[in-house]
Amino acid sequence: MLVRASIEPLAWESEFFQRPSAKLHFSDSAPQVNPAELDVFTLTQAKVPTHRLDLIDALGQLGFKLVEGEVDLSLSVGVNDTVGTENASFSVDAKTDTGTCQHRVTTYPYRVATTEDIPLLRSVAANAFALSRFRAPWYDPQDSGRFYALWAEKAVLGTFDHQCLLVMDSSGQPAGFVTLRDLHDGSARIGLLAVFPDAQGKGIGSSLMSAAKQWCQSHGLHRLLVATQMSNIAALRLYIRSGASIESTAYWLCRG
C-alpha cells in the first residue's frame, strides 16, 4: 500500500525538544510519502485510526513504530443538566468562575488558577504526565514532564488552553487542576486533568469533571471533549463515569 500524506513541519515542537519534527496528514489526494523527505526530520509523527491496519502496516515499512494508543471521548453539557458526576453537585458564580463541588458529604470549592499557582502547577504536571507519547527512545526521559509543565503554565496565562481551574480540598489546599480550551464551535476540550498525589481517592477527579462541565455551561458551550492514553484505565473510567462516550480511537506512531 502507498502512503499518501502531506508532511507538516512542527516548528514549536522542533524548538522545544531540540529535534527537527514533523507530522503526517493523510489524504488520498496527497502525494506519496518519500522516505527521503522524512529523512529531513529527526522525528516524524503519525496519528492513525485504529481500524486502519493497512496504513499502520505501510507506515511500518517506512520505519514508523508504535508509540501509544489514544481514546477520544465527548459528553454533552445541557443547560438544564444536573451539574456534576455521580454523587457530585455543583454551584457557580459565572462572573468569577468560582464555585463548589460536593462529593458525598465533602464540599470542594474551586477557583481559577493565577500566576501565583504556576510553580506548583508546573511541578505537579511534570510528575503527573511524566509518561506519555513523548517517551524514549524518541525523546529524553525528562521531555514529557517539561512539555506538560509548560502546558499547565500556558493554560494559566491563557496562551494555549484558555483557563486552568483548581479544585481545593477540605482544608483549602489545591487538590487537582483541569485546563480547558474553547474550540469556538460550541464545544470545549480538556487539555490536562490531574489529581494531586496526596489527594487521591477523595472524589477530586469527579469534582474536576464537574468544574469542567460547569465552565462549559457558564460559557454557553454544549459539548466537552477529552482525550487520554489507552493505557490510562483510571482516566477512562473517570470520563465514562462522568457521562462521556468514546468517539474514536487512534494509534500514535513515530519515525526517528
Alpha-carbon distance 101 to 99, whole Å? 7
- From 110, 148, 239, 251, the catalytic residue: 239
Given a contact cutoff of 8 angstroms between Cβ atoms, the answer to whether 73 and 249 are in contact is: no
Residue showing cell 487512534? 250
Alpha helix ranges (H) inside the chain? 11-17, 35-38, 53-61, 118-128, 143-157, 204-218, 233-241
Structure-block grid coordinates of residue 248: 474514536
Q: Supply 218's cell numbers.
A: 457558564
The edge-to-edge listing of strands for the beta sheet with 106-112 is 5-9, 21-26, 43-49, 245-255, 65-76, 223-229, 187-195, 174-182, 163-168, 106-112, 98-103, 88-93
- Is 239 in the active site? yes
Q: Is residue 163 a contact partner of residue 179, using CB atoms and an 8 Å limit?
A: yes
**Residue 127 among known ligand-binding residues:** no
Is 33 in contact with 23 (CB distance < 8 Å)? no
The closest of 151, 247, 223 to 193, measured between CA atoms, is 151
Short-list 229, 241, 191, 198, CA closest to 212? 191
Distance CA 214, CA 88 (A): 12
Annotated binding site: 232
Annotated binding site for acetyl-CoA: 232
Residues marked active site are found at 239
